[in-house]
Amino acid sequence: MNIDEKKEILAKLNTKKLVERMKELEEGLFTTMLHHANLILEETQNIGRAGGDSPKVKELLSMATFICPAEIEGKKVTADMRDAWLTKQRKESKELNESIQAQAQAQFQLDASQATMDAMKEELRGTRAVLALKTAQINFLSGADSNG
């Protein structure tokens, strides 16, 4: 392969665009990570832990526990009756219902943000792999590997 053929192949590799895309992805990932961190800070009271209720919902439920009636339909309240009453309050209490909705919305936003970060990381990994391949091609065409 003569030098002109090698120069033509090297020009077609277009590594400049690839490096620019990688920089865009890195900047986008950084911005998305900042957004994700800010979202966590802003929504701390609305984010559930390990699939459970958020601190705000737990607080409202504990307050509701204190106002649970001692008797329901003339019967002394059992633990099961209290749990059923609290479950009913999740739907009937406006403040509790709003907190549950805020919790769901916050979790949705966090999940969407995490999915965006994961997709960007994956694209960045792929772009780096392509750049590594093109670097190997450049080394081969420049004769760097043939001297070894």
Per-residue pLDDT tens for 2-58?
778 877 887 778 888 889 999 999 999 999 999 999 999 988 888 877 668 888 888
pLDDT of residue 26: 96
**Is pTM, for the whole model, over 0.85?**
no
CA distance 108 to 104: 6
Please list, in sequence order, all residues whose beta carbon lies within 8 angstroms of the beta carbon of residue 110, skipping any fewer than 6 positions away.
Answer: 36, 39, 40, 43, 47
pLDDT of residue 147: 46
Higher pLDDT, 23 or 77: 23
% of the chain beyond a pLDDT of 90: 34
